[in-house]
Structure 1
Amino acid sequence: MSQLLAIDGGEKSVKRNFPWPIFDEQEVQVVSEVISSGKWGNPDCGDEVEKFEKEFAAFCGSKYAVSCVNGSVSLRLALIACGVKPGDEVIVPPYTFIATASTVIECNCVPVFVDIHPDTYNLDPAKIEAAITSRTKAIIPVHFGGLACDMDAILDIAKRHNLRVIEDAAHAHGAEYKGKKLGSIGDAGSFSFQSSKNLTAGEGGIVVTDDDDLYAIMNSLRNVGRIEGGQWYDHYNPGCNYRITQMQAVLLSQQLKRLPSQTEKRNKNGLYLTELFENIEGILPLVRSEEITMHCYHIYIFKYDASKFGDIPKDKFVEMLAAEGVPCFKGYPHPLYKQPLFQNKNFMCYAIPETVDYTDVICPVAEAACTTEAVWILQNGMLGEREDMEGFVDAVLKIQRAVVLKI
């Protein structure tokens, strides 16, 4: 292999592409059949949505599933159903997509940021209790990248303080903690079907639960406040039309058939990649505990130490790695509390106290992840072959040799 870096015109370490989404004529056929039927809507035009909801609930080992237009809305449905009131506080991590916290704002509640653990980049249970006040009503642990949070510790804290737990499993389709599917462990579990996700229809979301009351409320909220058994123009709750279409449902049902084998492959590749990375100075994969019985690797994350790579900044390293053909990304530029939404308090809500101020919030682990440490390899890359994982490692070593040894 040429030692000239690809970013400088050399040969790439990884030469194949990693397409996403993966589909064939089966997906085309099922969507075509819905289109040809003329029954596109929901719930008055067929039962494909209900069929998919039952399939996904069974997949997760949950009693119920409520589909909706996206993962952000599924979080919002869960929060409202869990009984949060204006002015209540909800504990969230700062290293996640904006929706984990912005949906709390939409509910007229206050996000309280608790730092992540340096080994996992998930919500650190040891720091949760110090953030709990009399106004705290819920915790939203995010299974970031598909790596399960320490759910035993989080559930223990929640039980002792009478808090609801809503799992943000937007990255975690098919992942497991102690043999249980993520999303099925807390009071409710929220998933996204946005185009980058391990299970996708381009857009969409779903929330699972075993709680009869939570299901009834969420089911009503996503269907303009209607209730089961009620009349079409009777509205009992302040919901909206958050329903998905028949076309999305059949596409998701078809994609769900592919998910178990894809998850197994990502899991196997992730274990192998970690084994290979352990021999590279300056590359530290996130820690995977024994409780994690399946990792779906929506994102494979490793911590980058610039001092072992000629002190080149993380952003430059990721640029060089991408040029080598590795499907990678530098991650979030800063923690959520540094977003203009929070710094400027542009909430447009009436119940968030004037005393709430995010300008002095500092979560050191999240800060380091954003600025200097975290490098992401994307889930489509984790569907590669064993030799592709070796190619990813070769690319890292090639960069290291070039910047440290100048060869």
Structure 2
Amino acid sequence: MPETSLALFGGEPVAADPPRWPQRGPQEARMLREVLDDGQWSLHGGTRCTRFESRFAALQGIGRVLTVSNGTIALQLACEALGLGPGDEVIVPGLTRPGTAGAVLDANAVPVLVDVDPDTWCLDPAAVEAAMTERTRAVVAVHLYGTMPDLMALAALAARYGLALIEDCAHAPGARWEGYGAGSVGTLSCFGFGMSNTLTAGEGGCVATADPLLAGRLAGLRDGGRPPAGSPPGWRPLQGGNHRMTEWQAAILLAQCDRFAEQRRRRETVTRRWREAALASGFLRPALLLPQVERPPGHALALSYIPDSPLLGDIPVATVRAALAAELRVPVEPCYRPLDTSPAYLPHSKPRHHLSQEYWEAIDPRRARLPHCARLYDSSVILPHTAMLRPGAEEHLPQALDRLACHAGQLRDWAAGRPRAAV
């Protein structure tokens, strides 16, 4: 057994320091100072929100982009712009953040939770088609962690049945599918810029569409019902709210965009090496990247633990996560809890969702059957993108996996509550 002990047991970790995220410096400070000095802190009067909208549209190859307060609001406004409401069903993957389905609830539509493909971790087109009814109006395709769903299959289904396709791209800035930027295939697409995302302002989001009428509706919905500049034909006044991004957030995003291309390339290089190391380990399996994924999302590396592998045997996945977290000096966590059992997805906790007894029953997440989601949750090991940006990160995971394999006996004893063998 090597003399070097696992970091979990007091040894030196593979990664010397925790990652610094978000990366920032004088440029962010300068741009924030400019907002402070010119006094234009709102979308009304400022130019930074619109500048970011143009820049982000070019980055993703998408149509009109409208900045909003956060990614969940982006999804809610997408549903409202489509006119979804009571009686309408929206198909949502069971493995996603609670806000994805919550945004559908807040439009008074019914989120229909369907299982994912166990290889890609994303929406299974066959499960989507099986879940359709005469009430189905839209499908939400989530780009999850470092993978993408079969966009063309989902787009073909949506076209065949006359449905809207909404892309949830919070994890996918910079990602591409056969030349298409993430968000450019769907009827509408939504992005979030929260603290954990690869492009961040702490909070914030945007919603995008190539449809001028939908763009006009979105503009009114985010801005108190005000008519958009150059209102497209067919636009009508509608009830809106204040869901605007601030100029402070847009300034940070513009500065972060200057860093983004190099960060994306770095994540892509490191992820490629980490996927190889995970496969070679024999006890971790990366989520499948379909051949059409030209540039994968860089939000995280999603891995499934193989508990009956020859190397680690019956060591619990929680022990593997803890050991990797200690070596890499980042949180290593399970994936999202499936929405049918998630403690954060509780439609019945809000009386305003009790529109009728029929609706109340339809939104009960316990109705869903999500066996693949459950198995992925139980075996998942999620490595965040922040761990990929450090110098030498290419070899951090391979070295950590070698250590785990060499110290399997110690890990097994620790998990069982037995005293560790001396190192």
Shorter-chain TM-score tier: over 0.9
Given that 1:264 and 1:296 are in contact with CA atoms closer than 8 Å, whether structure 2 keeps it comes out as: no
Superposed displacement of residue 289, structure 1: 2.0
Superposed displacement of residue 333, structure 1: 6.1
Partner of 2:280, secondary structure, is coil
Q: Does 1:295 align with 2:296?
A: yes
Superposed displacement of residue 360, structure 1: 4.3
Q: Does 1:145 align with 2:125?
A: no
| Per-residue CA distance 1:285-319 (angstroms, 9 max, x = gap) | 11112201101320111111122223122122111
Q: Equivalent residue for 1:218?
A: 218
Q: Does 1:346 align with 2:349?
A: yes
Distance 1:260 1:390 in 2: 22
Provide the aligned length of Structure 1 versus Structure 2: 401
Superposed displacement of residue 341, structure 1: 6.2
Superposed displacement of residue 92, structure 1: 0.5
Partner of 2:293, secondary structure, is coil
Q: Equivalent residue for 1:36?
A: 37
Q: Equivalent residue for 2:113?
A: 113
Given that 2:302 and 2:382 are in contact with CA atoms closer than 8 Å, whether structure 1 keeps it comes out as: yes
Given that 1:147 and 1:175 are in contact with CA atoms closer than 8 Å, whether structure 2 keeps it comes out as: no
Distance 2:329 2:307 in 1: 18
Q: Equivalent residue for 1:315?
A: 318
Q: Which runs of 5+ in 2 are unaligned?
A: 411-420
Could you say if the C-alpha distance between residues 145 and 77 of structure 1 is closer, same or farther in structure 2, counting changes exceeding 3 Å? same
Distance 1:257 1:342 in 2: 36
Superposed displacement of residue 345, structure 1: 2.5
Partner of 1:31, secondary structure, is helix
Matching of residues 194-205 of structure 1 within 5 Å: 194-205=194-205
Q: Which runs of 5+ in 1 are unaligned?
A: none
Q: Does 1:378 align with 2:384?
A: yes
Q: Does 1:359 align with 2:366?
A: yes
Distance 1:20 1:285 in 2: 24
Matching of residues 55-134 of structure 1 within 5 Å: 55-134=55-134
Superposed displacement of residue 327, structure 1: 2.5
| TM-score normalised by length of structure 1 | 0.93
Q: Equivalent residue for 1:401?
A: 406
Amino acid in the other structure paired with 1:381: A
Q: Equivalent residue for 1:275?
A: 276
Given that 2:98 and 2:345 are in contact with CA atoms closer than 8 Å, whether structure 1 keeps it comes out as: no
Distance 1:344 1:201 in 2: 29
Percent identical across equivalent pairs? 33
Given that 1:188 and 1:207 are in contact with CA atoms closer than 8 Å, whether structure 2 keeps it comes out as: yes
Could you say if the C-alpha distance between residues 332 and 148 of structure 1 is closer, same or farther in structure 2, counting changes exceeding 3 Å? closer
Amino acid in the other structure paired with 1:139: V
Q: Does 1:325 align with 2:334?
A: no
Given that 2:333 and 2:383 are in contact with CA atoms closer than 8 Å, whether structure 1 keeps it comes out as: no
Given that 2:4 and 2:11 are in contact with CA atoms closer than 8 Å, whether structure 1 keeps it comes out as: yes
Could you say if the C-alpha distance between residues 230 and 238 of structure 1 is closer, same or farther in structure 2, counting changes exceeding 3 Å? farther
Distance 1:354 1:35 in 2: 47
Could you say if the C-alpha distance between residues 334 and 46 of structure 1 is closer, same or farther in structure 2, counting changes exceeding 3 Å? closer
Superposed displacement of residue 83, structure 1: 2.0
| Mean Cα deviation higher: 306-315 or 291-300 | 306-315
Superposed displacement of residue 361, structure 1: 2.4
Q: Equivalent residue for 2:260?
A: 259
Q: CA RMSD in A?
A: 2.0
| Mean Cα deviation higher: 289-298 or 396-405 | 396-405
Partner of 1:137, secondary structure, is strand
Distance 1:354 1:318 in 2: 38
| Per-residue CA distance 1:175-195 (angstroms, 9 max, x = gap) | 000011101110111000111
Distance 1:276 1:292 in 2: 20
Partner of 2:196, secondary structure, is coil
Could you say if the C-alpha distance between residues 395 and 37 of structure 1 is closer, same or farther in structure 2, counting changes exceeding 3 Å? same
Q: Equivalent residue for 1:369?
A: 376
Superposed displacement of residue 132, structure 1: 0.2
Distance 1:204 1:63 in 2: 19
| Per-residue CA distance 1:6-52 (angstroms, 9 max, x = gap) | 11112212223211101110110011011011221221x32221111
Partner of 2:53, secondary structure, is helix
Distance 1:116 1:229 in 2: 41
